């Protein structure tokens, strides 16, 4: 691996590390929104249409996060002061609900919606940046690095395959979505589609993992002497450093605000 590739991977990892730090530390909805925007721009500039399946998948994740927190916000059940937008089931109306919620009922709260948005933003920052980094990383690099610190071969191989998991999942999601659009099952509605899609994604992932394990048992461990196809990005290092500075500024701004 030449010096330019090493430098590009290092700067890409630096962006991922900084963005993950921002997602971990910040709870400011405005700073996190800015982080999501810059993370999306970073992934789109580097990989353009390849980021589309990740965006579609993340939309369902965000919807699930916001809805779950809107209906079941932890602060509401722990006794914190919350603003109730709408009562779904009021207290002392249903015995089972009262038993499960300790007599508090189920309500859509403003704080729950905000918390869902914040949680989603944290996930999206990490998701977009991790996708970009994993697309750029060659498994051979991971194996060589782990080999130098004497990590067992099986563990090293698992780590290398993990770094390539996100792009594979994104491509699989794109295929499943395209097939569902073409076939259009009669029983598939907009309500059941996310569940059916996720179930198919899990089944296919397990199948791929099973086939990979059989291949490793029969053929042995790969040596990864090949180089994975890499998308050439002009001035990738300079762009990475620019996004690193932006994300680092957001971290500093988070400290100033708080």
Distance, CA of 29 to CA of 222 (rounded, Å): 45
pLDDT value of position 64: 85
pLDDT value of position 190: 60
Angle (deg, nearest 10), helices 193-219 and 52-71: 120
User: What is the pTM (predicted TM-score) of this model?
Assistant: 0.66
pLDDT value of position 43: 86
pLDDT value of position 38: 92
List CB contacts of 23: < 8 A, sequence separation 6 or more.
32, 35, 121, 122, 123, 125, 126
Distance, CA of 197 to CA of 192 (rounded, Å): 9
pLDDT in tens, the chain (258 residues): 455 555 667 788 888 889 989 998 899 999 999 999 999 998 888 777 778 878 877 888 888 888 888 888 888 888 888 899 988 888 888 888 888 888 888 899 999 999 999 999 998 998 888 888 877 766 666 667 667 777 776 676 666 666 656 566 666 666 766 666 666 655 556 666 666 766 777 777 777 666 666 666 666 555 544 444 444 454 556 778 888 899 999 999 988 876
pLDDT value of position 33: 93
pLDDT value of position 9: 72
Which residues partner with 109 through β-bridges?
84
Instruction: Count other Cβ atoms within 10 Å, centred on residue 198.
Output: 15
What is the Cα 137 distance to its own chain's centre?
Answer: 17
pLDDT value of position 225: 47
């Amino acid at each position: 691996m030449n010096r330019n590739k090493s430098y590009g991977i290092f700067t890409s990892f630096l962006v991922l590390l900084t963005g993950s730090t921002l997602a971990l530390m910040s709870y400011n909805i405005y700073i996190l929104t800015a982080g999501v925007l810059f993370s999306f721009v970073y992934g789109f500039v580097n990989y353009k249409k390849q980021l589309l399946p990740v965006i579609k998948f993340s939309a369902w994740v965000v919807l699930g996060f916001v809805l779950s927190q809107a209906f079941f916000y932890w602060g509401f059940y722990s006794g914190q002061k919350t603003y109730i937008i709408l009562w779904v089931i009021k207290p002392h109306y249903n015995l089972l609900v009262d038993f499960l919620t300790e007599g508090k009922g189920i309500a859509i709260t403003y704080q729950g919606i905000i918390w869902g948005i914040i949680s989603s933003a944290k996930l999206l920052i990490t998701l977009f940046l991790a996708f970009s980094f994993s697309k750029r990383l060659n498994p051979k690099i991971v194996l060589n690095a782990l080999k130098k610190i004497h990590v067992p071969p099986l563990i090293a191989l698992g780590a290398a395959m993990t770094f390539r998991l996100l792009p594979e999942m994104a491509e699989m999601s794109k295929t499943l979505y395209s097939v569902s659009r073409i076939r259009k099952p009669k029983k598939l509605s907009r309500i059941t589609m996310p569940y059916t899609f996720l179930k198919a994604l899990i089944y296919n992932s397990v199948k791929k993992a099973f086939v990979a394990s059989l291949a490793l048992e029969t053929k042995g461990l790969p040596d990864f002497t090949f180089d994975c196809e890499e998308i050439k990005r002009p001035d990738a290092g300079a762009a990475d450093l620019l996004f690193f500075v932006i994300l680092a500024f957001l971290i500093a701004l988070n400290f100033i605000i708080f």
